[in-house]
Amino acid sequence: MVKKHLPHKKNTLILLLLLVVFFSIALFLGRYPETGFMSPRLLFTDSLARKLVFNLRLPRLLTSLMLGMTLAGSGMVFQMIFSNPLVEPGFLGVTQGAAFGAAFAIIFLNPSIWIIQGSASFFAVTGLGLSYLIAKKIHFGGWIIRLILSGIAVSAIYSSGIGIMKFAADPMSQLPEITFWLLGGLWSVTWREFLVIFPISALALLVIYLMRWRLNILSLEDETAFSLGISPRKYRLIFLISATVATAALISVSGIINWVGLIVPHISRRLFRSDTSSSLPAAMLLGGVFTIFCDTVARISFAGEIPLGIITSMIGAGLFIFLLLNKNIKVQK
C-alpha cells in the first residue's frame, strides 16, 4: 500500500503560515513612532502612520516578497536544469546582464523605472541568449559545462562593461546611484515600482510553478528526459526564459541581490527533499520569508539603511558555510 500520497502538504502550509506571520509583523516594524513594533491601533488614529504603512511599507514588503520568491524559484530552476546544486541566476550572464543594463540606462538613457527595467531585462535575456549561443558553438565538453563556461565569460564581459561605466559616470550624481544599485536594496520602492514589475514576474513565476514537476525530469540526462516523452530543449528554454525574465524584472528595481537563489533552494531541498512538486513551492515561500527578514533587518537596524544585498550575502554565505560543514550538500562528480 502507498503510505504517503501527495507529500509535504502540511509542511508547505506551515511555511505559508510562517510567511504570513513574517509579513504581518514586518509591516508594523520600523522607526515610527519610535524604533520597534508599531501598534496596529495607530492606523486608526494617525494619518502619517497610515501613509507610512500603506504607501511605503506595504509596496516595499510586497516587492521583497516577490524578490525572494523570484530569486529562490529561479535559483531552483537553474540548479535543476544544470543538475548542479551550486548554481544560481548569477550564472549564464543573467545577473550581470541585468546590472549592466541598469547601469547603462542610468548613464546613457533616461533613468526612469520603465527604462531601467526594460534595459535590465533586455541585457539579462541577451546574457542568457549569448551564453546559450556560445555554448552551442563550443566543440568540447558536455552541454552543461559548455553552458556554464560561456556564462562565466559573458558575465565577465558585462562586469567589465559595468567597470567602464562606473569609471565614466558623473561622480556626483550617477556614480552613487550605480554603486547603491550594485549593492542592492529596496528603499526606493513605491507602488509604482511594484506595479511595474509585478505582472511580468508573477506571470513567469506562475509558469514555473505550474510546470514544476517537469523540472525533475530536466535534471536527468538529456536522453533519459527525452525517453520519458519530453523534449528537453523545449522545456529547458521555457523554464530558463521565465526564470530570467522574472529575475531581471526584480533586479531592475532591487539592484543586485546575491545568495538568495543559491542558499534558499538548498534549505528547501533539505526540508522537502528534491522532488520539485514540493521543493519548488517551498523554495518560493522560504525565499519570501528570507528576503522579508533580511529587508526588515536592513530597514530598521540602523538609522541609515544598510543595502539589502549586503545582508543577504552575509546571512546567505554564513548559512552556506554552515550547511557545507554539516555535510548536507551532496554534490557528486
Contacts to other proteins by CB under 8 A: 1-6, 80, 83-85, 139, 210-214, 216-217, 219-221, 223-224, 226-231, 235, 269, 273-275, 277, 330-333
Nearer to other proteins, 151 or 265 (CB): 265
Cell, residue 327: 555535510
Give me the least distance between CB of 56 and other proteins, in Å please.
Answer: 38
Nearer to other proteins, 58 or 217 (CB): 217
Give me the least distance between CB of 269 and other proteins, in Å please.
Answer: 7
Residues 6+ apart with CB under 8 A from 318: none
Residues 6+ apart with CB under 8 A from 98: 120, 121, 123, 124, 127, 247, 248, 251, 252, 256
Cell, residue 234: 523545449
Nearer to other proteins, 78 or 100 (CB): 78
* Distance separating alpha carbons of residues 297 and 30, to the nearest angstrom: 10
Give me the least distance between CB of 81 and other proteins, in Å please.
Answer: 11
Give me the least distance between CB of 78 and other proteins, in Å please.
Answer: 13
Phi, psi of 29 (to 5 degrees): -95, 140
Give me the least distance between CB of 125 and other proteins, in Å please.
Answer: 22
E strands, the chain, in order = 29-30, 36-37
Nearer to other proteins, 325 or 331 (CB): 331
Nearer to other proteins, 39 or 224 (CB): 224
* Distance separating alpha carbons of residues 193 and 186, to the nearest angstrom: 10
Cell, residue 4: 504517503
